[in-house]
């Protein structure tokens, strides 16, 4: 009887662990944000793929893209940590290319861990994805401003905004939202990733783990606003450090502008 209760207890613990730590990495959530810019555009944001620690398959992302019919796909950094993982990233990029939806990308801090980040940029370009390195893409209805990663000290706000076309909304894509504390230029909308919505939903985590002053202040996911504009922080698709989340689901985001 004693052994039976031990087995039952272990099974319950495993079930709880799966439901709270593993299932959130498999159960992709589509967050929807509506920002009234009057453009009629729909942007699908895919952030923090972290292909070494990712349980979302390219086919699951493809199903979202096919269902949502976005005007653009925006990838907001942290694709992989090491050169040997390019083989894991390629299927995601091939899938994005196959949708024939115009795609844009910025790099994240983990991408700058690579010996040659330029190799990642070339791969993204080979799959038809435009990498914005402190640059503006003048699109039909918006200025899409790509600011390089702030956390790894690659951001250059002045260069990124240099080619902005007056009279069109300014939509910024970047990796680390901490930059919103230090920017000088106004924007209509900004979206980022990096913070994984905590990844582990534990009180005071970002007071114990240094992820910058924005996260420490309690701003680490969802829609927020400051004096420069409205911004959104995605919880991301993959995981950093450990291939688990605790009560935080993997996410892609549909931004309706």
What residue spans define the domains of the chain?
2-256
Look-up of token digits 């790509």? 146
Helix axes 117-126, 86-99, angle to 10 degrees: 30
| CATH class of the domain comprising 2-256 | alpha beta
Q: What is the pLDDT of residue 146?
A: 98
In whole angstroms, what is the distance from residue 149 CA to residue 183 CA?
A: 13
pLDDT at 128 over 60: yes
Read off the pLDDT of residues 135-157 as tens digits, 9 standing for 90 and up. 999 999 999 999 999 999 999 99
Q: What is the pLDDT of residue 59?
A: 97
Read off the pLDDT of residues 53-95 as tens digits, 9 standing for 90 and up. 999 999 999 999 999 999 999 999 999 999 999 999 999 999 9
Q: What is the pLDDT of residue 23?
A: 77
For 34, the token pair is: 């509506």
């Amino acid at each position: 009887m004693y052994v039976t209760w031990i087995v039952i207890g272990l099974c319950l613990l495993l079930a709880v662990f799966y439901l709270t730590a593993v299932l959130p990495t498999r159960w992709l959530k589509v967050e929807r944000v509506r920002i009234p810019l009057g453009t009629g555009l729909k942007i699908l944001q895919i952030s923090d793929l972290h292909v070494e620690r990712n349980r979302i398959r390219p086919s699951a992302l493809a199903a979202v893209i096919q269902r949502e019919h976005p005007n653009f796909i925006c990838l907001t950094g942290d694709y992989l940590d090491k050169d040997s993982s390019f083989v894991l990233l390629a299927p995601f990029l091939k899938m994005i290319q196959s949708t024939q939806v115009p795609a844009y990308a910025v790099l994240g801090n983990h991408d700058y861990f690579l010996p040659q980040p330029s190799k990642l940029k070339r791969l993204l370009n080979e799959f038809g994805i435009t990498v914005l390195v402190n640059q503006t893409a003048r699109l039909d209805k918006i200025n899409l401003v790509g600011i390089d990663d702030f956390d790894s000290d690659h951001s250059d706000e002045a260069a990124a905004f240099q080619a902005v076309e007056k009279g069109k909304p300014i939509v910024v894509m970047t990796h680390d939202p901490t930059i919103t504390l230090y920017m000088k230029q106004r924007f209509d909308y900004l979206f980022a990733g990096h913070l994984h919505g905590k990844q582990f939903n534990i009180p005071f985590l970002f007071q114990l783990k240094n992820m910058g002053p924005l996260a420490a202040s309690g701003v680490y996911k969802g829609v927020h606003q400051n004096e420069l504009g409205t911004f959104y922080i995605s919880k991301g698709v993959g995981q950093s450090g450990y291939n688990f989340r605790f009560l935080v689901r993997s996410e892609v985001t549909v931004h309706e502008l």
